[in-house]
Chain A
Amino acid sequence: MAEDITAEDIVDVPDTPRTDYRALTKDGLWDNNVVFSQLLALCPLLAVTGTATNGLGMGLASTAVLIASGLSISLLRNWIPPDVRIPAFVLVIALIVTLVDMAMNAWVHELHKVLGLFIPLIVTNCAILGRAEIFASKKPVAPSTYDGFIMGVGFTLALVALGAVREVLGAGTLFAGAAILLGDAFKAIEMNIPAYDGMLLFALPPGGFMVLGFMLAGKRVVDKKMESWRQRRVLQSDAPACHTV
C-alpha cells in the first residue's frame, strides 16, 4: 500500500457536500487511474486480458463491486473504529463479492461461466480495498459511490485497452466472444483480421507484461508532454508581465 501517500495527496477532497466531480472524473479516468497511475490490480489485469471481451467482463464486475463497496463503506464509516477498519473493510468487500458471485451464477449464468473463475479474485483486488481506505471511509455517500464508479470505469478502460492490444496482436481478432458476454446484439463488434493468425507471445503472460510496460511508458510520455506544454503556456503568459516591470 505504498500508494497510500501519493494517492491521498491527490484526492484530498474535504469532507463537504460540495465535492468536485470533475476532479474525481479526471482522477479516475486518467490522473489517478487504478492501473496506469496507482499500479494496483495488476494481477487480475494480466490474468484476464487475453481478449478484450474478458477484460470488459472483468471490468464490469469489478466496477459493480467498487460501487457497492464505496456505497456501503461510506455508509458505515461512522461505525467502523479506525483500529479495526482494515478487517471490517475486507469483511464488507468479501461479502459484496460473494453476493455478486452467487447472484451472477444464478441469474446471469452464461456470463458467470465465462468469468466465474475471476469473480472470487475480485476480493484480492487491492484497488477496492485501496479506494475504501483512501476515499470511501472519509467521504459522504454520494462522492464515494461516484468515486467507486469512475475508478471502476477507469479500470475497465485499462482492461479493455490492454485486452484489445493483446488480442489483436496475439490472436488477430478483436472482441471475440462479445456476443456471449453482452448478448447477440453485439455480434457485430466481433472482428477478425484476415490472413493474420496472431503472434502467440502476446496471448501469453509475457506479452501481457510487455504491452502493459509500453502502455505505462506511453502514459508517462503523454503526461510529460502535457506538463511541458502547460509550463510553456504559463511562461508565455508570464513573459509580457515581466517585461513591463
Chain B
Amino acid sequence: MSDASTASAPPGPDSPAKFDKTPWVLALTLTVFATVAAGLLTLGDIQTRPVIAQRLAEDLNAILSQVVPPELHDNALSKDVLTVKSATGEPVTVYRARNGDEIIGFAYSVTGQGGYAGPIELVMGVNAQGQVLGVRVLSHAETPGLGDKIEVPKSNWILSFTGLSFANLPRDKWAVKKDGGTFDQFSGATITPRAVVKAVKGGLDFFATNQTALFAKAPQNASQTTPSGTGE
C-alpha cells in the first residue's frame, strides 16, 4: 500500500513532503485522531442513548400489545416482568398481563429453530387458560417473497394461531399439513412454517410446565426488574 502511495503522490508543489516521518510523530497523530473520534462517539452516544432506549421501549410495547390485546388487561406489561427457566435451562423473560389482581395472560418470546436461514424470533401471548392470544415475528432471515409470509404485513398466516390451545387442538395436530397437522404451509416453503409451528407448540409446552412459576405472586418490586435483552 505504501509503495502505491509514494508512486501516486506527484512530486509537485502540493506534494505532502512536509510530513515528519518519525514513528513517534505518526503514533501521536493517530493517537490524536483516535482520541477525537472517541470523544465524538461519546458525544453521539450521550445524545442518542435516551432516545434509542425510548424507541426500543415503544417497540416492545407495540409488539406486546399485538400479542396480548390491550383491552384484556389494565397494567403495563413491560412493568410486570419475571424470568422463568425454559426446558433447555435458558432464562425466558415473561411479561404478565393483569386485570386488577387477576393474572389474565402472559407474553414471552420463543425461538423457532430449524428455519430456512437461522433462528426465527417470535413473541407470543397466552391467556391464563393456555390459549394463544397472538403470535408475531420479531426477527427472521427467511427468504423474501417466500418465508417472509410469516410476517403480518405480508400474509395473515400467523394469525391462524390465535385462539388455539392444546385443549381445542390435539398435540399431534400442531404441525403443517404436509406433516399431518392442521397448519397451511406456503407454496414453495414448508421449512419456515414448520419451524414456526414447532416454536409456538414449544411455547405452549413452556406455559404448561411452568404454571406454578408463572402464576406465582410476584414480589412487589417485580417492576424493578430490568427487561434485559428485549430490544431484539
Contact = CB atoms under 8 A, between A and B. Distances in A.
A46 to B, nearest CB: 13
Interface of B is mostly: helix
Contacts of B153: 177
Contacts of B20: 81
Interface in A94-133: 94-95, 98-99, 102-103, 105-107, 109, 113
A113 B30 CA distance: 34
Contacts of B47: 102, 106
Interface in A52-100: 78-88, 91-92, 94-95, 98-99
Contacts of B182: none
Given A79-B29, A83-B2, A106-B51, A203 B143 contact: yes
A113 B63 CA distance: 14
A85 B16 CA distance: 12
Contacts, number: 89
B167 interface: no
A223 interface: no
Contacts of B41: 95, 98-99
Contacts of B187: 197
A84 B1 CA distance: 11
Interface in B40-90: 40-41, 44-45, 47-48, 51-52, 55, 59
Contacts of A8: 8
Nearest to A109: B55
Interface in B178-216: 187-188
Contacts of B33: 80, 88, 91-92
A200 B143 CA distance: 9
A204 interface: yes
A88 B55 contact: no
A88 B29 contact: yes
Nearest to A173: B145
Contacts of B44: 98-99, 102-103
B30 A87 contact: yes
A84 B8 contact: no
A143 interface: no
B34 to A, nearest CB: 6
A82 B9 contact: yes
A200 B145 contact: yes
Interface of A is mostly: helix
Contacts of A105: 48, 52, 55
B48 A102 contact: yes
A107 B144 contact: no
A84 to B, nearest CB: 5
B144 A171 contact: yes
Contact of A92 (B2, B25, B37, B52): B37
Interface string B4-19: 1110110000101001
B37 A91 contact: yes
A149 B35 CA distance: 28
13 contacts: A1-B4, A8-B8, A50-B144, A51-B144, A82-B16, A83-B2, A86-B1, A91-B30, A105-B52, A105-B55, A107-B51, A177-B153, A204-B143
Given A5-B4, A84-B29, 15 more contacts: A50-B145, A81-B19, A81-B29, A83-B26, A87-B30, A92-B37, A99-B41, A102-B47, A103-B44, A105-B48, A106-B48, A171-B145, A198-B145, A200-B146, A200-B188
Interface of A: 1, 4-5, 8, 15, 50-51, 78-88, 91-92, 94-95, 98-99, 102-103, 105-107, 109, 113, 170-171, 177, 197-198, 200, 203-204
Interface of B: 1-2, 4-6, 8-9, 14, 16, 19-21, 25-26, 29-30, 33-34, 37, 40-41, 44-45, 47-48, 51-52, 55, 59, 143-146, 153, 187-188
